[in-house]
Structure 1
């Protein structure tokens, strides 16, 4: 009996093409689950990451709003959108409407940062908003619903009253 027959079967039972396909699938699964990717974490490590309460502080700049103190309320739920993908619901734990500051030289030669009087009259505000939710914490950072969040990440929050786009300026969680 020959090792290969005329139809390309090993010992007359198994096709070489079938063995090649099975080998390709095994190699792909090995690479997917066990070899680290560009981020350094494998899928197995990300799946095993701890889910912890996380606070993300964002800065929204230059929002034009008539009643800034009534727009964002602490305790309300809002949708979080990261890189144009909805990533669930978070709670607003702190919100502050800020008037941008400008450097002003003083007569004694020092410089002080004072609220810009021009912007306090024309309804332009910056907002510092703290969002709280549960996220995976890995050695590479925080992952909200499969999307990494780091300082500088663009985040959008949305409710029936507003849509705001800002960037992350702080991330806090217990280690």
Structure 2
């Protein structure tokens, strides 16, 4: 009996192409399940330096029924959930919340311009504020990284608490030593 017959079968039973395909699938399964890759948590990587950072975010024109209560809620919460580019990061500490005044430029008869509080009643339900957040970030050559996302001026963050969820772009990043 020949090892390979005229139809390409080993010992007349197994097609050599089928055997090759089975071996390729077995090697792929071994590679996927047994060989370690580069995926996984980047926090567990050795040699990654972390430093504390403070991130300033600004909220402009947030419509809310009670702006003072929201500011007080943020100040008292001490932590806020952060979503960076639609990827949940986790919690950051709320270091400070500063309500920004709403003003309007008023031209004067002598040609100068002064800033006065905006008198429009609908602005009683509109809130501008600066929120300072703090946490530990991984340091790379490109700057601080939170949750595999670089955090730089202009990065869109989404802040979430028990009673709120709103967008707040980054306007400042300070790396603490």
- The question of a shared fold, defined as TM-score above 0.5 by the shorter chain, is answered with yes
Give aligned pairs, total: 139
1:119 to 1:58, Cα distance in 2 relative to 1, 3 A: farther
Deviations 1:17-43 (A, max 9, x none): x9xx9xxx9xxxxxx8xxxxxxxxxx9
Unpaired runs of at least 5, structure 1? 1-17, 26-31, 33-42
Distance 1:74 1:108 in 2: 46
What secondary structure is seen at the aligned counterpart in 2 of 1:117? coil
Distance 2:152 2:137 in 1: 12
| Structure 2 match to 1:51 | 50
In the TM superposition, residue 50 of structure 1 has moved relative to its aligned partner by 1.9
In the TM superposition, residue 69 of structure 1 has moved relative to its aligned partner by 2.3
For the aligned residues, what is the CA RMSD?
A: 2.9
| Structure 1 match to 2:66 | 67
| CA contact 1:57–1:130 (8 Å) conserved in 2 | yes
TM-score by length of 1: 0.68
| Structure 2 match to 1:76 | 78
Query: What are the equivalent positions in structure 2 for 1:152-171 lying under 5 Å apart?
Result: 152-171=154-173
1:173 to 1:160, Cα distance in 2 relative to 1, 3 A: same
Runs of 4+ deviating beyond 4 Å: none
TM-score by length of 2: 0.67
Q: Give 1 or 2 for the bigger CA radius of gyration.
A: 2
